[in-house]
Amino acid sequence: MKALTWQGKRKIEYGEVPDPTIEQPTDAIIKVTSTGICGSDLHLYEVLAPYLDPGDILGHEAMGVVAEVGSAVTNLKPGDRVVVPFQIACGSCYMCDQNLQTQCETTQVREQGMGAALFGYTKLYGQVPGGQAEYLRVPQAQYGPIKVPDGPRDDRFVYLSDVLPTAWQAVEYAAVPDGGTLLVLGLGPIGDMATRIAMHRGLRVIGVDLVAERLERARRNGVETLEYSDDVAEAIRTLTDGRGPDSVIDAVGMEAHGSPKAKFAQQAVGLLPDALQRKMMETIGVEQLAAVYLAIDVVRRGGTISLSGVYGGGADPLPMMTMFDKQIQLRMGQANVHRWSDQILPLLDETDVLGVESFATHHLDLSEGPAAYEMFQKKQDGAVKILLKP
């Protein structure tokens, strides 16, 4: 089959790889019909090289049609249309029973000290072949795949794999009071979708980003927008009666394609051998926490910060005195897809209240994946969300 594979820093290739097969009774094989490029995929493209091997198949935002199932998979049959959550969870362990599927005890990557295995996302999360491919082997298929109806095009449902539950959880964790104000830092796919969910709930939403096209896209949806600058904190306070927003979502994360300081640190670490790179990233870190610091600075006293961006390492200590003094509540973590899917699915009807049908800025062939990664990383051509068709 054809797939996108990682071959080195900023080097993605489209080519032949072995077809997946049923390896366990709980496996299924999915013929992929749509697959997305996630903002966190750019960390693989730019930063996380020490945890990848040439030939690793990327991607964790896939949907398609069931081609084959293992003997223990009784809930699916060939021909079913499904969305595949980005994490691999069993549905029956203690953590899954707590609706914490990203902590699944059956698939935890214990040798790395990490939570549930993820598709297409480095040795840290199990090095499981991903979904930017023609076919995908889905472990724990007796629980994971979400069946969706035939008929509507893939754009209606594909975001259930990651974007929708991640943004939904970000808003849930933000715990904005009724009629309150939510600040969203970063208007990429997750931040953009979080603004839509928040506005659907009747909240006042302020969005901050560096990219003019992303600010305009959010503004058209009714979001109050501010361009990131040295004095953006003061501008935010001005819009919120001087006290700051009730809640802040940090949808920026590791800033693999944003902060100049972070970019310099990442490039410097990238010159080291892989073993040293891993040590540096795990114990020191290579990112600047600019978005976190801004969130802590501007959130009102007693407010909540919801952190959905991906961070790694520990380069910068958090300002614990300020956090304590302001009584800030902080929630974070990978999204638990099944926890939220039943609440999201009813919103994906013909009314399309979240605008999923027009959410993608680009629809490209899988063969165009290498160029798509570069375009997304460089924020060219208004790229916010790219869907690939195998």
What would the two tokens of residue 177 be? Answer: 């009071």
| Residues 100 and 42 both lie in one domain | yes
pLDDT 10s digits, 237-246: 999 999 999 9
Query: What percentage of the chain reaches a pLDDT higher than 70?
Result: 89
Within this chain, do residues 119 and 235 fall inside the same structural domain, yes or no?
Answer: no
Total domain count, the chain:
2
Claim to verify: residue 219 and residue 298 sit in the same structural domain? yes
* Same domain assignment for residues 222 and 87: no
In angstroms, the CA 65 to CA 150 distance is 10
- Residue 80 and residue 126 in one domain: yes
345 shares a domain with 322: no
User: Is residue 261 over pLDDT 60?
Assistant: no
Residues 202 and 297 in one domain: yes
Task: Give the residue from 332, 358, 376 where a domain finishes.
Answer: 332
Indicate the residue among 332, 353, 368 that finishes a domain.
332
Strand pairing report for 11-16 and 146-147: unpaired
Burial class (CB in 10 A: 0-12, 13-18, 19+), 230: exposed
Whether residue 345 is found in the same domain as residue 316: no
pLDDT band at 43 (very low <50, low <70, confident <90, very high): confident
Beta-carbon contacts of residue 304 (< 8 Å; ≥ 6 apart): 173, 174, 175, 176, 246, 247, 248, 328, 329, 330, 331
CATH number of the domain within which 368 lies: 3.90.180.10
Using pLDDT thresholds of 50, 70 and 90, give the confidence band for residue 123. very high
Ramachandran region of residue 309, left (φ > 0), alpha (ψ -120 to 50) or beta? beta
301 shares a domain with 178: yes
**Does 48 lie in the same domain as 88?**
yes
User: Which of the four pLDDT bands, split at 50, 70 and 90, describes residue 323?
Assistant: confident
Range of the domain at 260: 164-332
Distances (CA, A) of 42 to 8, 10, 340: 13, 9, 25
Residues 6+ apart with CB under 8 A from 52: 6, 44, 122, 123
* Domain match, 78 and 156 both: yes
> Pick from 295, 316, 332: which residue ends a domain?
332
* 296 beta partners: none
Place of tokens 């969706």: 148
Q: Give the CA distances from residue 349 to residues 80, 86, 156, in Å, rounded to whole numbers and listed in that order.
A: 19, 22, 8
CATH code at position 234: 3.40.50.720
Task: State residue 277's pLDDT score.
Answer: 47
The confidence score (pLDDT) of residue 48 equals: 77
Instruction: Mark whether 147 and 57 lie in a shared domain.
Output: yes
pTM: 0.91
